[in-house]
Amino acid sequence: MAVRVQYWAALALTAANLGCCTPIREPTTTTDRPVKIVILGDSLTAGFGVPWDAAFPARLQRALQDKGIAATVENAGISGDTASDGLRRLDRSVPEGTEAVILELGANDAERGVDPNVTKMALESMLRRLKNRHIEVLLTGFKAPADKPSDYARAFDAIYPALAANYSFVWYPFILDGVAGDPRYIQFDGEHPNADGVNVIVERILPQAEELIARVRAARRP
């Protein structure tokens, strides 16, 4: 009996010593897990004319990771989509579990001369639905091409500032800022950014993307 007691005492002491020497890992908090972002857009998101890993979503995810920011960025871009097309596929393109959406739509509306009221209504509907789902949004703006009539251009260009004034989301006034009109950053079609152009977009929009992520993390806190 004495031997058995000594055995269990020794075993308990060994376990205690191991416990002292084994580092205790704190559980990962909900604010630390990667933020799930979907970019809902057109060819500017899909990556028309560039490799998949050079498209806007992939480059943005890499830029965030390089800054030590944990995030996954899903590519939900379809070339040719208008804002109304995005509205129709919103629920299937933005699955459950998505915490943030970068809404990049409207370029094709402007190219085709879609009624600005139609574009605005589609964007506003998406913003309302995302808000109801408690999903944070970064809205990227667009400007009418130079060949459009001045009255159309004024009406179209007013869409995004008006939405920004009415909704509390992050917004970036012009997705092609620093890229449009610069042949160094545009493909031969004269419209779509090349890989270097995508890098410019990512570099310029990165502060807004960080603000979007900060809002998600703040919303996670109990």
Q: Name the residue with tokens 């979007």.
A: 212
Q: Which is the catalytic residue, given 42, 109, 157, 192? A: 192
Q: How far apart are CA 181 and CA 183, in angstroms?
A: 6
Q: Which is the catalytic residue, given 32, 157, 189, 196? A: 189
CB 131 within 8 A of CB 167: yes
Q: Which helix (H) or strand (E) holds 193?
A: none
Radius of gyration of the chain (CA): 24
Q: How far apart are CA 209 and CA 190, in angstroms?
A: 27
Strands annotated E in the chain: 35-41, 71-77, 100-104, 136-140, 170-172
Q: Is 134 considered catalytic here?
A: no
Q: Is 189 considered catalytic here?
A: yes
What's the distance, Cα to Cα, between the start and end of the chain in Å?
54
Q: Is 192 considered catalytic here?
A: yes
Q: Which is the catalytic residue, given 42, 43, 109, 157? A: 43
Q: What are the catalytic residues?
A: 43, 189, 192
